[in-house]
Amino acid sequence: MKLSRQFTVFGSAIFCVVIFSLYLMLDRGHLDYPKSPRREGSFPQGQLSMLQEKIDHLERLLAENNEIISNIRDSVINLSESVEDGPKNSQGNFSQGAGSHPLPSQQLSLPIDPEDCLFASQSGSQNSDVQMLDVYSLIPFDNPDGGVWKQGFDITYKSYEWDTEPLQVFVVPHSHNDPGWLKTFDDYFRDKTQYIFNNMVVKLKEDSRRKFMWSEISYLSKWWDVIDTQKKDAVKSLLENGQFEIVTGGWVMPDEAGPHYFALIDQLIEGHQWLEKNLGVKPQSGWSIDPFGHSPTMAYLLKRAGFSHMLIQRVHYAVKKHFALHKTLEFFWRQNWDMGSVTDIFCHMMPFYSYDIPHTCGPDPKICCQFDFKRLPGGRVGCPWGIPPETIYLGNVQNRAQMLLDQYRKKSKLFRTKVVLAPLGDDFRYSERTEWDQQFKNYQLLFDYMNSQPQLNVKIQFGTLSDYFDALDKADKNSGKSSQSVFPVVSGDFFTYADRDDHYWSGYFTSRPFYKRMDRVMESHLRAAEILYYFALRKAQKYKISKFLSSSHYTALSEARRNLGLFQHHDAITGTAKDWVVVDYGTRLFHSLMNLKKIIGDSALLLILKDKHTYDSYSSNNFLEMDLEQKSQDSLPQKNIIRLSAEPRYLVIYNPSEQDQNSVVSVYVSSPTVQVSSATGIPVEIQVSAVWDTADAISQTAYEEMMNKEDGKHHVVKLEFSWYGTSNKKDKSGAYLFLPDREARLYGYTTLPFVRVTRGRIYSEVTSFFDHITHRVRLYNIQGVEGQSVEISNIVDIRKEYNREIAMRISSDINSQNRFYTDLNGYQIQPRVTMSKLPLQANVYPMTTMAYIQDAEHRLTLLSAQSLGVSSLKSGQIEVIMDRRLMQDDNRGLGQGVHDNKITANLFRILLEKRSVTNLEEEKKSVSYPSLLSHITSSFLNHPVFPMIEKVSSPTPQLLGEFSPLMSSLPCDIHLVNLRTIQSKVGHGHSDEAAFILHRKGFDCQFPGRDTGLLCSTTQGKILVQKLFNKFTVESLTPSSLSLMHSPPDARNISEINLSPMEISTFRIRLR
C-alpha cells in the first residue's frame, strides 16, 4: 500500500517506458546514471544466465522462424562472450535503456514459520458425513423416469405416522425479484416491484396471520426513497410483529460461480448497512433460490456474518435425488478445510425441480399447480398440466385439503423431522392486489379446515423462513438424541448444475466475458479507492481541507459499491440478461469506474502533497490522471500517452497491495529519448519499446517450452486454441447451457499468422496475430514475483462467428490423470475429478481466479484476471473457454442467444512450480491450497499497480517522495480485503470509522521457498495493532461480524489481531 512518485524527463513518436522497482526504490541509490540515454547496459553474470534461459524459451516459441531465432541466438552469444571478457564493459544489442542491472540479485529464502505449514498438511474434511466428491463417484447419473416426480421416485407413507407427533407445515409466501433480467432494474421496479411493496403494506395488515418475506435490498432501498412516513412506519411494525421478514439482506441474491469474494462481501455489507440504518433489523436466515449452482464460499460468508441457517435450490437433479433418498436434504454445511465444526451452518436444500408453486408443495406438480391460486381460470397464467385450480368454498374444502395434505406428507418423507417448508411464490409475484386475495384467502380456508380436523394430525399456517427454522431447531432438540443433532454434516460444493437431461449450466461460466473482465477491473478500482479515500479523509479532517471534505466522493463511492453489488446478481455477472439490460449494467459499471478514478486521483494527491493546504488549488482539474482510459462501456481501455517536454513531469505510482513488491510499470510516452528518475534524483532502470498499431512480422507459432529453475528440467508446455460448435440436436447451447457437438477442434488458419518479437532487458515478448485472437506471451526478467510466471494476454474477437465457442488449451507432460483443481470465488480451492460417465459439458467448472493440475513433482497453475469456464479433459491439460457466440435461446426464459460479443481482453499467467510430495495418499484429499507464490501472483494480477500522470500545471506542487501508510509489509499470507469507510448513523454521509477486513490465506508449503521474489514473511496470523500503520494512530480497533451486523458481546479495543488460516474477519477501525 504505497504511493511513490517518479520524475520523468523527456524530448518526441509513441514509445513504451517501463519503470521498475518503485516501492523499494527510495532506499536503493546505486543505479548508474547514463552518459547517454542510448548507451547499452551491463549485465552481471547471474542476470545473464536468467536472461539466456528466457531467450531460450522464446526460441522454442518461434521454432519455425529460423531467421528470427538466429538473431536472438546471436544476441545471446554476443552477450555471453562480452561477459566472459569482462562484465564491466559489455555492450549488448538489446533495446536501449538507462542504468545498469535491474535489481540486486541477492534473494533470500522465504521466512515461513514452520507452524504456518501445519494447516495445509493436516486439513481435509475427514470429519464430514457426506463429501460431495464421494457423492459424485456414487451417483450413476442414469436419469430414470421417477413417475409424477420425474427426476425422483415414488413416495409412500402410512396414515398413522403422525399419530404421536402431528405434521407441522409452514407455507411461506415470497416473491423472487431479479434486479435486471428481461427488463432493466429500473423498469422492473417501475412495472412490478413497487406494487408488490405497496400491496404488501395494505394486505398484510388485513390479517395478522399473513406473512411475507423479501431478500433483495437494492429494490427495497429504491422503494424506501420514494414512500411516505406512513408506509415506512407500517413496514417497521410488520417487521416487529413477525409478519414480514428480511432474508439474507444482501444488495442482490448473487451468483455463486463468477463473483470474487471481495464483491460478495461488499454487496452483503451494503445491504446490511442499509438495513441497520433504515430498519434496524438483522437478517438471520439465508435464502438463495435462483443462483445456478451453489458455492461453500457463500455458506462461509453467511456464517461469518452471523447467520445460523440458509436455504439453497438449484442443485443437480441427480444430487437432489441422492440427498432425498438418504434424507440428507437438511444438513450442516462445513468447509472442506475445517478441522473442527466452527464453519458449520445449517442448510436446507429444496428437493424438487424449481422454486415455483407447482414444484414446492410436494412431488406432483400437476397437483401443486392447482394450489397456485394466481392460475385460477380467467387469469393470464394457467397450469401446463391441464387441471386448473378451484376457488375454495365449503363444498370442496374437504376434498381439496386432503389433496394438498397428501403432497405435504409426501414431501415430509424426504426429511428427518415432521416439520415441512412449503414456499408459496415465483418471479415478481404478488404485484397485483387480486393475487394477494386469491392466495391468502383460499389458503386460509384450507388451513382453518385442516387445523379443525384432529384426525388429520396437522398444524398448518403461514410463516416466514425463520419461523420454519425455529420450529425445526425445536424439533431437532426434542428428537431425544442427547446432544447430537439428527442432521448430517456435508462438505463440498454444488457445481456444475443440471436441471434436466444433459443440460449442464456451464455455458454461463463464460457468457459475456467482456463484462466479467470489467467486473474485476471495477473491483480493483473500488478497493483502491476505498483504501486511499479513508486515509485521505483522515488527513483532510486533521488539516481541515474543506474542499475534500465537502466533495461528493463519498456519495460516488456509495454509488460504485451499489453498481458493483448490482452486477453480482445472478443474471448480471453470469451474462444471462437481455442485450439492453447488459448495456444498462455495463453503463453503471463504466460510470462508477470514471468516478473511482477521480477519487483515487484526488485522494492520492492529498496524501502525497507536502503542503496539504495547497490541495484546493490542484484538485479542481484532476491533477493526477489515471494511465488507462476507457472511452465507452463496451470498449477496451487504452493507455494515455504522456506528452513530453523539457520540463520534468511527475509520475505517481500507487501499489494497492499490502506487500512491498518489485514491479514493472509500463507507460506510453511521446518520445523515445526519455529518462526516469526517482524522487531523490536517482535514475530508474527503463526499457523503451515500440508501440505498434498493426502487426509487422510473419511467422507461425509452434510451441513453448518452460523450464523450472529449481530442477533445471525442461517441460514442454503447449498452448493451442480450439473451437467448440453446438449440438445438432433440438436443444442447443445458449447463454446458460453448454451443449457442444463434440470435442473441441483445433483452431486452424489459412494464412500464416503475423508474429512479432520484442526483446529487452526488463521484458521480452512474442505477439501472434490470428484472425480471431491477438495472442501475446511476455516474460519478465526481474527478481520480483512478476519474473516467476509467464504472462498471457489474448484479445479475442469472434463477432463474425456463428454458434462457436473459442477455447485456450494448455497441454503439458504433468501426469495429472483425471484430477484438477479450481478456485471458488477467489477464496478456496475445490478438487475436481473429470468423469467419463458424465458428458463433456458436465466436466466444465467455474474458475474465478485460478485452476491447476499437478503430479508428484510439479504443479502447473493457470491464473486468471477474469471468471471463465475451465476443464481438464485429458491428463496434463487445462482448457479455458474464452468467449462464446450463440445464435439461439436455450429455453431457460431469456428468449435470445448471445450475439452481442465485444472485442474482449483476457489476461492470464502460467506458473510452473516444483513440488515435494512425500505422501501420495494426500493427493486424494478433498482439499488443496495454492502456494504463497501463487497467491501473491494472483493478487497482483487482480490488483495491479496504478500509474498516475501529472497534468501540466503551474506552479508545480511539492510532492512527498512517497506516502506509505503501512509500517511494513503485512505477512505474506494476510490480505487486506478492504478498508471501507462506514456510513454515518444519520444523514447520507460517512462516519469516522472504517471496516478493516482481513483474510488469512491457507497455503501449501510443498514448494521451494528460495528466490520466489516474495518480500514478506509469515507470523502465524498475528499482527500487532500498534505496528500496523505508519502515518496514523489507531484510536480504536474492535472485532465485528463480517458485514458489521453484530458486535461480539465483549467487543473492546484489541492490541493484537489473531487470524486462523482461511479466516476472513472484519474489524471496526478508527484512525487519526
Residues with a catalytic annotation lie at 290
Length of the chain: 1072
| Residue in this structure with the C-alpha cell 456414487, named with its chain if needed | 138
Going by C-alpha positions, the residue among 22, 24, 99, 103 that lies closest to residue 651 is 22
Per the CB < 8 A criterion, the answer to whether 773 and 806 are in contact is: yes
831-842 burial, b at 16+ Cβ within 10 Å, e below that, comes to: bbebeeebbbbb
Which run of H or E residues covers position 523? helix 513-543
Count other C-beta atoms under 10 Å from residue 72's C-beta. Answer: 18
Per the CB < 8 A criterion, the answer to whether 1062 and 1024 are in contact is: no
Q: Is 942 helix (H, G, I), strand (E, B) or coil?
A: helix
Q: Is 536 helix (H, G, I), strand (E, B) or coil?
A: helix
Per the CB < 8 A criterion, the answer to whether 995 and 262 are in contact is: no
Cell numbers linked to 109:
529464502
Expressed in percent and rounded to 5, the helix, strand and coil fractions of the chain are 30, 25, 45
Q: Is 215 helix (H, G, I), strand (E, B) or coil?
A: coil
872-907 burial, b at 16+ Cβ within 10 Å, e below that, comes to: bbebbbbbbbbbbbbbebbebebebbbebbbebbbb
Between CA 816 and CA 860 the distance in angstroms is: 10
Count other C-beta atoms under 10 Å from residue 364's C-beta. Answer: 21
Between CA 860 and CA 852 the distance in angstroms is: 6
Between CA 687 and CA 681 the distance in angstroms is: 18
Q: How remote is the C-alpha of 1017 from its chain's centroid?
A: 26
Between CA 162 and CA 1016 the distance in angstroms is: 63
Per the CB < 8 A criterion, the answer to whether 520 and 528 are in contact is: no
- Cα→Cα distances 456→206, 293, 421, 849, Å: 28, 37, 18, 54
Per the CB < 8 A criterion, the answer to whether 53 and 764 are in contact is: no
3-state secondary structure 703-738: CEEEECCCCCCEEEEEEEEEEECECCCCCCCCCCCC
Between CA 401 and CA 367 the distance in angstroms is: 12
Per the CB < 8 A criterion, the answer to whether 445 and 437 are in contact is: no
How far apart, in Å, do the first and last CA atoms of the chain sit? 18
Per the CB < 8 A criterion, the answer to whether 892 and 353 are in contact is: no
Pairing of strands 130-131, 489-491: parallel
Alpha helices in 155-216, H assignment, sequence order = 185-188, 194-206
Cell numbers linked to 483:
446432544
DSSP string for residues in 945-984 = -EEEEEPP-SSPPPB-SEE--BSSPPPTTEEEEEEEEEEP
Phi, psi of 867 (to 5 degrees): -75, 135
Between CA 1072 and CA 677 the distance in angstroms is: 33
DSSP assigned state of 514: H
Strands (E) in 478-592, as ranges, are 489-491
Going by C-alpha positions, the residue among 165, 205, 316 that lies closest to residue 845 is 316
Q: How remote is the C-alpha of 632 from its chain's centroid?
A: 23
